[in-house]
Amino acid sequence: AQSVSQHNHHVILSEAASLELGCNYSYGGTVNLFWYVQYPGQHLQLLLKYFSGDPLVKGIKGFEAEFIKSKFSFNLRKPSVQWSDTAEYFCAVTLYSSASKIIFGSGTRLSIRP
Amino acid sequence: GAGVSQSPSNKVTEKGKDVELRCDPISGHTALYWYRQSLGQGLEFLIYFQGNSAPDKSGLPSDRFSAERTGGSVSTLTIQRTQQEDSAVYLCASSLGGSSRSNEQFFGPGTRLTVL
Residue A40, Cα to own-chain centre: how many angstroms?
17
What residue in A sits closest to B43 (Cα-Cα)? Answer: A104
Q: Determine the pLDDT at residue B98.
A: 65
Contact residues on chain B for A97, CB-CB shorter than 8 A: 100
**B23 chain-A contacts, CB cut-off 8 A:** none
Residue A82 CA to residue A77 CA, distance in Å, equals 13
Given a cut of 90, whether residue B22 has pLDDT beyond it is yes
AA identity, residue A71: K
Tell me, what's the pLDDT at B100?
53
pLDDT at B13 over 70: yes
**Calpha distance A22→A76 (Å, rounded):** 7
Query: Quick check: A57 pLDDT over 90?
Result: yes
CB A75 within 8 A of CB A22: yes
Tens digits of residue pLDDT in B35-67? 999 876 778 889 999 888 889 898 999 999 999
pLDDT digits (tens, 9 = 90+) for A66-114: 999 999 999 999 999 999 999 999 999 987 666 567 889 999 999 999 8
Task: Report the pLDDT value the prediction gives residue A94, as an integer from 0 to 100.
Answer: 84
